[in-house]
């Protein structure tokens, strides 16, 4: 039980540190026989575990977080508390036992849950019910799922994935062989996805991961973001040493609205924010290199992928992702990322990362995984279209770029119609 953790975390740490398994620093720390007198595990484990994010734990229970990071195999990256209970629940099962829990839908696709998805793949995921469209908890902004795992390894089973429209009835259900399901890093594609949609996904996935052909990074760490803020000044008439500072909100497809729209950054607003490149280089040489580089800057919370091509004139803010040092043309990549096809793919493949109002969380872990098909026959045409958009954006050129990309990814007219609509 982790109730009232803000007030009790220090007392809990004292108790848990004295607990025999922790004192021995054993990784197999949860002993059912010691706790309950049960030697061979439970037939069934049922839980609604606590949902406590990494930031809250780091602030309120840092010592416990360090212990858990050493104790649980799934505690990697910015892990949430509920993920530990998934590992714990399965470990408490006897062979062929059942573990079922209600947890946030971030288990389906969030990067910090990837180790937990890998852990589950060692067993049999029988059922997943997505309750994101159902009000399950009053006054709590959680989009829950319910899973049922059997502690079994037989691949000759099906996994049922359903999108629920009430507590007890579903809108759609997809069934897939567990042997095919378990190899997927991302489970979003199995929810509310038609055979035609899956056909498009499979065609897109034939491309190379963007992270294999270019460097993809978040534009700044939290610490860097606050230090860079100290360097920001308002300056409309800029010199060669000044780099325009852009962030989500002033990044559109092929365009930046720097000096037009206000740039919101760490509780302040700027119309013409700049940073002197010499000051940046003395503080963060790598970020200065990225700023001077040809790159793509991608907005971090948008309804479609919004990617701006920059030839070294802009410093990207912390809520963005940057792509640089590419093996192929960045203008070509920018066109693919800005296409309707890739925005459609992102919305389906990372559906559980959606937010209220139709927005999506867009970050480096997801951008790295986007598949890019390179076809030199289309390179010059697409680069010329991108140059047109960069100098004088217009919708008809957008349509022409989309047509080229549908050809590159070999979509049928029926598949194109689905993406367009």
Tell me: the pLDDT tens digits for 101-139? 999 988 998 889 999 999 999 999 999 999 988 888 887
Strands (E), 67-195: 93-104, 124-130, 144-150, 158-164, 170-177
Instruction: Quote the pLDDT of residue 138.
Output: 80
Residue 163 to residue 151: CA distance in whole angstroms = 24
Residues near 132 by beta carbon (within 8 Å), at least 6 away in sequence: 105, 143, 144, 145, 163, 352
Residue 163 to residue 271: CA distance in whole angstroms = 43
Residue 132 to residue 395: CA distance in whole angstroms = 34
Least confident of 11-20, 197-206, 267-276, 279-288: 11-20
Neighbours of 370 (CB within 10 A): 24
Residue 338 to residue 335: CA distance in whole angstroms = 5
Instruction: Quote the pLDDT of residue 20.
Output: 39
Mean pLDDT of the chain: 88
Question: Phi and psi at residue 330, in whole multiples of 5°?
Answer: -70, -30
Instruction: Quote the pLDDT of residue 139.
Output: 72
For the segment 244-273, the average pLDDT, to the nearest whole number, is: 92
For the segment 15-33, the average pLDDT, to the nearest whole number, is: 47
What pLDDT band is residue 22 in, cutting at 50, 70 and 90?
Answer: very low
Instruction: Quote the pLDDT of residue 30.
Output: 57
Residue 354 to residue 301: CA distance in whole angstroms = 9
User: Is residue 23 pLDDT above 80, yes or no?
Assistant: no
Tell me the H-state helices in 230-329: 277-283, 285-292
What pLDDT band is residue 18 in, cutting at 50, 70 and 90?
Answer: very low
Return the residue matching tokens 């195999």.
Answer: 73
For the segment 244-254, the average pLDDT, to the nearest whole number, is: 94
What pLDDT band is residue 42 in, cutting at 50, 70 and 90?
Answer: very high
**H or E segment at 401?**
helix 395-408
Q: For 339-396, how does the pLDDT look when each residue is reduced to its tens digit (9 = 90+)? A: 999 999 999 888 877 776 788 889 998 999 999 999 999 999 999 999 999 999 989 9
For the segment 282-303, the average pLDDT, to the nearest whole number, is: 95
Instruction: Quote the pLDDT of residue 35.
Output: 66
Least confident of 4-8, 239-243, 273-277: 4-8
Instruction: Quote the pLDDT of residue 180.
Output: 85
């Amino acid at each position: 039980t982790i109730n009232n953790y803000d007030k009790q975390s220090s007392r809990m740490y004292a108790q848990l540190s004295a607990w025999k398994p922790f004192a021995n620093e054993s990784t197999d720390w949860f002993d059912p026989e010691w706790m309950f007198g049960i030697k061979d595990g439970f037939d069934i484990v049922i839980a609604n575990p606590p949902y406590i994010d990494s930031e809250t734990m780091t602030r309120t229970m840092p010592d416990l977080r360090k212990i858990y990071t050493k104790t649980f195999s799934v505690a990697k990256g910015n892990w949430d508390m509920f993920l530990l209970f998934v590992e714990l629940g399965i470990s408490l099962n006897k062979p062929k036992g059942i573990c079922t829990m209600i947890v946030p839908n971030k288990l389906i696709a969030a990067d910090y849950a990837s180790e937990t998805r890998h852990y589950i793949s060692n067993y049999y995921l029988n059922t997943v019910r997505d309750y994101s469209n159902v009000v399950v908890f009053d006054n709590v902004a959680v989009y829950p799922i319910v899973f049922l795992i059997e502690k079994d390894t037989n691949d000759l089973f099906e996994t049922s994935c359903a999108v629920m429209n009430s507590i007890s009835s579903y809108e759609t259900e997809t069934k897939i062989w567990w042997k095919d399901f378990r190899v997927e890093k991302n489970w979003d594609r199995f929810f509310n996805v038609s055979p035609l949609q899956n056909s498009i996904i499979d065609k897109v996935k034939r491309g190379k991961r963007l992270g294999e052909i270019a460097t993809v990074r978040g534009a700044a760490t939290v610490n860097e973001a606050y230090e860079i803020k100290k360097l920001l000044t308002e300056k409309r008439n800029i010199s060669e040493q000044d780099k325009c500072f852009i962030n989500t909100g002033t990044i559109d497809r092929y365009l930046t609205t720097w000096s037009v729209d206000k740039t919101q950054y760490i509780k302040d607003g700027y119309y013409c924010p700049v940073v002197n490149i010499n000051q940046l280089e003395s503080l963060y040489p790598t970020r200065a290199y990225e700023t001077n580089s040809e790159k793509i800057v991608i907005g971090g919370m948008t309804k479609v992928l919004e990617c701006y091509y920059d030839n070294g004139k802009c410093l990207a803010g912390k809520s963005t992702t940057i792509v640089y040092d590419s093996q192929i043309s960045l203008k070509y990549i920018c066109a693919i990322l800005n296409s309707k096809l890739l925005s459609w793919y992102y919305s389906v493949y990372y559906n559980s990362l959606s937010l209220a109002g139709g927005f999506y969380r867009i970050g480096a872990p997801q951008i790295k995984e986007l598949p890019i098909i390179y076809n030199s026959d289309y390179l010059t045409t697409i680069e010329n279209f991108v140059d047109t958009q960069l100098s004088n954006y217009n919708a008809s050129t957008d349509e022409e770029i989309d047509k080229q990309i549908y050809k590159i990814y070999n979509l049928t007219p029926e598949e194109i119609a689905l993406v367009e609509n």
